[in-house]
Amino acid sequence: MATQLTPLRRTRHSKLYWRDTIEGYAFIMPVILGLILFVFGPMIASLYISFTEYSILQAPVWVGFRNYVDMFTRAPLRVMHSLWVTIVYAAASVPLVLVAALGAALLLNQKLRGMRYFRTMLYIPTVVPLVATIFVWGWLLNPSYGLVNAALKLLGLPPGTWLSEPNTALPTLILLSVWGIGGSMVIFLAGLQGIPESLYEAAKIDGANEWHTFRHITLPQLSPTIFFLLITGIISAFQYFAPAFILTRGGPLFATYFYNLNLYEKAFRWQFMGLASAMAWLLFVIIIALTYILFRSSNAWVFYEVKR
C-alpha cells in the first residue's frame, strides 16, 4: 500500500519558514539598500538642507523657514516667475502631446500595407539622444541661417523669430514638445489594439458613425491609458530642463526661465544649496498635489474593465 507524502508546513516556528524568510529578505536587500542610500537618504538630507544656509564650502547654518519665505517674497530670485512659466508650459504642452500622440496612433492603427515602416519613422525621434536633437533644432530654428526660415522664405511666408524673441520663445518650445510623441504614441497604439473588435462591430450594427464610435467606445476604452500618460506627462513637464538650458538659458528676458533651470542656477551657479533644496521640495509638493487631484478625479472619467 503506497504511503502518502504530507507536504512540509511552513509555520512560523519551522526551520523552513525562517530559511525562506531570510532568503527572501536577502534577495530584496540590494533594492532596499539602494532606496535608502540613493533615494530616501538624499531626500531626508535635502529636507534638512532646505532649512539651512549652505554653500557647500561652508558648514550649513540653520535659518528655519527663511528659504521658503524668500521663495514667495523675494522677487529677484524669480521663483514664482519660473514656476508660472513651467505651469504655462505644462498646461499647453501636455494636452498638445496627448492629442498629437493619439492622432498618430489612430493613423498608425489602420490596417494598411507598409504601416510598420511609418510606425518606425514616427518613433525614431524618441530614440535619438535628446541633446543631439536639441542642438539640431537650435540650428534649424536660427533666425539668420536656419532651414525653417529659409523654407518659409521660399514659400513666400514671413520668417519667424522663434527662440530669439520673448513672445515666441515659449510657444516654440511648446511646439517642439510634439517632436517627442513617439513613446506616448506607442502606448496609445497598444491601448487601441487592446480594444475588442466586437464593440466596434456592435456599434456598426446599431448604426453608429465614426464620431460616435470614437466618442463612446475608443475614448472610454483608452481612458486608463490617457490617465497614465497625463500623470507622467505632467511630471515630465514640471521637470522640463534640457531644451531651455541648451537653447535659451532662460531667455530672452526670462521668457523661458523654467523652474528646474532656476533651481539648477541657484544650486550650482550661485551655491544657494539651502534655497535650491527648498525649491526642490516645493516642486515635489506641487507634483504630489496634482497627482492626488488627478487620482481623486479619475473615478469620474476613467473606466476600467470589470472582470466577473
Q: Where are the domains of the chain?
A: 15-42, 67-301
Res 11 pLDDT > 90: no
State the DSSP H helix or E strand holding residue 87, giving kind and residue range, or none if neither: helix 79-108
Q: Where are the beta strands (DSSP E) in the chain?
A: 52-53, 61-62
Q: Report yes or no: 255 and 169 within 8 Å, Cβ to Cβ.
A: yes
Confidence of residue 306 (pLDDT cuts 50, 70, 90): low
pTM (two decimals): 0.89
**So what's the pLDDT on residue 304?**
84
CATH class of 67-301: mainly alpha
Burial of residue 308 (CB within 10 Å: 0-12, 13-18, 19+) is exposed
d(Cα 53, Cα 244) in Å, to the nearest integer?
28
d(Cα 129, Cα 134) in Å, to the nearest integer?
9
Confidence of residue 95 (pLDDT cuts 50, 70, 90): very high
pLDDT (tens digit per residue) in 18-42: 888 888 899 999 999 999 999 999 9
- CA-to-CA separations, 220 to 175, 214, 230, 293, 304, in angstroms, rounded: 27, 9, 15, 20, 9
Mean pLDDT is highest, among 212-216, 256-260, 300-304, for 256-260
Confidence of residue 1 (pLDDT cuts 50, 70, 90): very low
pLDDT (tens digit per residue) in 57-72: 889 999 999 999 999 9
SS (H, E, C) 205-265: HCCCCHHHHHHHHHHHHHHHHHHHHHHHHHHHHHCCCHHHHHHHCCCCCCCCCCHHHHHHH
CB atoms < 10 A from the CB of 52, how many?
A: 19
d(Cα 24, Cα 18) in Å, to the nearest integer?
10
pLDDT (tens digit per residue) in 215-256: 999 999 999 999 999 999 999 999 999 999 999 999 999 999
The alpha-carbon radius of gyration of the chain (Å, integer) is 26
Return the DSSP state at 85: H
Question: What is the chain's mean pLDDT, rounded?
Answer: 91
Res 4 pLDDT > 90: no
